[in-house]
């Protein structure tokens, strides 16, 4: 069974870059799936950030497109998120997930809290 695990710094300074990695185990990142990032500000709802396919093809939510990069590391069976020029509004739990046919998300990591603060 596929499992996902996020990792990365829990604290990022304002104007800095948030960097997270999602390790995929129990399955190949080369499978016929997209891989995605979703975030959830404390006490609030869910926001889809973007997705990547094993070919490296990406899609991003328009509101974040200028600041987001999602990449894939085939050798490590993982994918990553970079979000630049962060502010306190980017404070959230960040989840990685498996994206079925660019539709819904059937397998999630446990999430990692990233706080933007000086």
Residue numbers of the site for another protein (CB under 8 A)?
A: 36, 38, 45-48, 59, 61-62, 95, 97, 100, 102-106, 108-111
Between residues 8 and 48, which has the closer beta carbon with respect to another protein?
Answer: 48
CA separation for the pair 78, 73 (Å, rounded): 5
Nearer to another protein, 18 or 96 (CB): 96
Residues 6+ apart with CB under 8 A from 112: 6, 7, 8, 10, 20, 93, 94
Closest contact distance (angstroms) between CB of 98 and another protein is 10
Interior angle at CA 53, CA 16 and CA 6, nearest 5: 45
In whole angstroms, how close is the CB of 77 to another protein at the nearest point?
20
Contact 50, 36 (CB under 8 A): yes
To the nearest whole angstrom, how small is the minimum distance from the Cβ of residue 106 to another protein? 5
Nearer to another protein, 19 or 48 (CB): 48
């Amino acid at each position: 069974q596929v499992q996902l695990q996020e990792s990365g710094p829990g604290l990022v300074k304002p104007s800095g870059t948030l960097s997270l990695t999602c390790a995929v185990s129990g399955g190949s990142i080369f499978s016929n799936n997209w891989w995605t990032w979703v975030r959830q500000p404390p006490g609030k709802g869910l926001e889809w950030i973007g997705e990547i396919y094993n070919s490296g093809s990406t899609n991003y939510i328009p509101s974040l497109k200028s600041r987001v990069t999602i990449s894939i590391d085939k050798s490590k069976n993982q994918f990553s998120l970079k979000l630049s020029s962060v502010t306190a509004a980017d404070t959230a739990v960040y989840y990685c997930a498996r994206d079925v046919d660019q539709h819904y998300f059937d397998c999630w990591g446990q999430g990692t809290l990233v706080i933007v603060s000086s």
